[in-house]
Amino acid sequence: MAASSTAAEASAPVPVPPAGLKEDIAGLYDESSGVWERICGDHLHHGFYEPGDAASVPDVRRAQIRTIDEALAFAAVPDDPEKKPKTIVDVGCGIGGSSRYLARKYGAQCTGITLSRVQAERGNALTAAQCFSDKVSLQVADALDQPFPDGMFDLVWSMESGEHMPDKTKDIRTADWSENVAPFWPAMIKLSLSWKGLTSALTCGWKTIRGAMGILLLIQGYRKGLIKFTIITCRKPRAA
């Protein structure tokens, strides 16, 4: 999550995304979002746990919401009516779980962007079903080439989409949450082996199944300290 614009070093080379990366990301989420939604709902991100806690299946959603609240606290996003964010952009919004949560929490307008047309359409349908379309709207757009004018949003939110983006701005404050999120994947394995998970898996394509097999590697990676989950926040400079 980042309330943007303290710039990266002017001299730092800007990484060029590999050709076809955007299309691959869009294709992966077009294909796999339905199955993830059926298994664990509208949040497509890790849950947050006390270090060493084992995650139980009924806790998964609660832990995912906790991730959002912990990230808001980490970034010291103000709650008070004067200072709380009134306009939010959710960069890499998935099917809008965070967008709707943040819009409700702050009474804000939230615009979400994703590379996946399927996600944007599904997210907007979920929002409409909750009669919330006046507050939240998702669209297809590239975070690295955003269609918005500078300074349009009070809060720039980005949950687990930065890993797809080679060109990141300079980190201002970071913390290692690896221990807090590692219990999420064993819980996801249990969920995937449930009746709902297995029947959902039958309806999805090869990309999604290959991605799901990667969960075992994620578990090992967290255990061995090879994978790190980092939270990053930065703050817009105050207007002079």
Ligand X SMILES: C[S@@+](CC[C@H](N)C(=O)[O-])C[C@H]1O[C@@H](n2cnc3c(N)ncnc32)[C@H](O)[C@@H]1O
Binder of ligand X out of 32, 111, 119, 180 (CB under 6 A): 119
When the beta carbons of 43 and 135 are compared against ligand X, the nearer one is: 43
Least distance in angstroms from the C-beta of 94 to ligand X: 3
Q: Which stretch binds ligand X (CB under 6 A): 53-61, 127-135, 159-167, 185-193?
A: 159-167
**Other residues' Cβ atoms within 10 Å of the Cβ of residue 40:** 23
- Which amino acid, 150? D
Write phi, then psi, for 147 (nearest 5 degrees). Answer: -85, 10
> CA-CA distances (angstroms) from residue 238 to 10, 38, 149, 217, 220?
20, 43, 18, 43, 43
Spatial distance between the Cα atoms of 151 and 239, rounded to a whole number of angstroms: 11
Binder of ligand X out of 32, 111, 137, 161 (CB under 6 A): 161
Binding of residue 122 to ligand X (CB under 6 A): no
At which residue do the structure tokens 């939270």 appear?
231
Binding of residue 94 to ligand X (CB under 6 A): yes
Least distance in angstroms from the C-beta of 7 to ligand X: 19
In sequence order, the 6+-apart residues with CB closer than 8 A to the CB of 193 are none
- Among residues 101, 100, 69, 107, the alpha carbon closest in space to that of 86 is found at 107
Q: Which stretch binds ligand X (CB under 6 A): 137-145, 167-175, 193-201, 227-235?
A: 137-145
Binding of residue 164 to ligand X (CB under 6 A): yes
Binding of residue 72 to ligand X (CB under 6 A): no
Binding of residue 113 to ligand X (CB under 6 A): yes
Q: Are 100 and 136 spatial neighbours (Cβ–Cβ below 8 Å)?
A: yes
Enumerate binding residues for ligand X (CB under 6 A): 25, 29, 43-45, 92-94, 97-98, 113-116, 119, 142-144, 159-161, 164-165
